[in-house]
Amino acid sequence: MLKHLNVDEMVAIIAPWVDESKRKSVFLAIPEIAPLHGKVLKAYEAVISIPQTKGTPTALSSILEEETLVDARHDHLARAISLSLDARAELYLAGQPPDFARAARARDVSRKLFPTGLAIVNASLLAESGNTARVARLVREEEPWMNDFLAEIPAGAPPHTLKDVVDAWIAAGARLAELENARTELLAKEATKPEGVLSPQAARSLWLRVVSQVLSNLELSEAPAEYIEAIRRPVLRAAERAERRYAGEKNTPDPMNDDTLPADG
């Protein structure tokens, strides 16, 4: 049943054997398996390098998922700002008397924030983040009067003013830049992965051979029983859980707490 273990279980079994604070000293104290420790270390390094299984978020998938959410937020905020400025201009013009100056100012702010209109929401993520960086410089450094004007325009529920909405838009763009940089770095690391890294299938096969050999050698060992059980018992319990899964049994109690094992280390 060991071949039916998932990667997390494989790592959990073998990690204590290579950890100074766990069962490494116990492993090395058993003469029949101590010579296998070098192979154990190789098997451990192999399985921890296996990409996470389907359905488990990887670093890259987490980045892509967050990018999707932040990009949608960026686009909604951009539309809200553009439409709010248009609506505010119309309200100024509908006044009695019409406020042509403030209507013109609203149009001017809109043109400066969206020089190509709402085409920005269809741009690349880096283009969107670059645009919001431009907007940040514009309203905070180059033409700070815009912040005062935007702060006068209510936006309903929090954020409370259009300035708050623009600040949130700028923050979304900045986060997109961070995520894109992280994604680029991760892809670069993947591209330079050492040629010697084993495939997932080869890593699992190595782990299975090494752990099977350890169990086999323990059958011949005359080491103290508590030492043998400290190494063997977690493997057998994991195999039992895998067998229950494989047989399709559900909700079977799992005796995770076992006071017969010596404390780690």
DSSP 94: T
pLDDT of residue 184: 84
Q: Does the predicted model carry a pTM greater than 0.85?
A: no
Residue type, 1: M
Could you tell me the end-to-end alpha-carbon distance of the chain, in angstroms, rounded to an integer? Answer: 27
DSSP 120: G
Here the tokens at position 250 are 């559900």
Residue 172 buriedness (CB in 10 A; 0-12 / 13-18 / 19+): buried
CB 204 within 8 A of CB 50: yes
Phi then psi dihedrals of residue 101, to 5 deg: -65, -45
Which position has the token pair 């490494």? 24
pLDDT of residue 156: 73
Q: What is the pLDDT of residues 102-120, one digit of tens each?
A: 999 999 999 999 999 999 9
- How many C-beta atoms surround the C-beta of residue 81 within 10 A? 24
CB 53 within 8 A of CB 6: yes
CB 70 within 8 A of CB 172: yes
Q: In tens digits, what is the pLDDT along the chain, a chain of 265 residues?
A: 677 788 888 888 988 898 888 889 999 999 999 999 999 999 988 888 876 545 445 677 788 889 889 999 999 999 999 999 999 999 999 999 999 999 999 999 999 999 999 999 888 888 999 999 999 999 999 999 999 999 999 887 766 899 999 999 999 999 999 999 988 887 776 555 555 566 777 888 889 899 999 999 999 989 999 999 999 998 988 888 877 776 654 444 444 444 434 444 4
Smallest CA-to-CA distance from 147 within 131, 125, 170, 176 is with 170
Q: How far is 169 from 73, CA to CA, in rounded Å?
A: 8
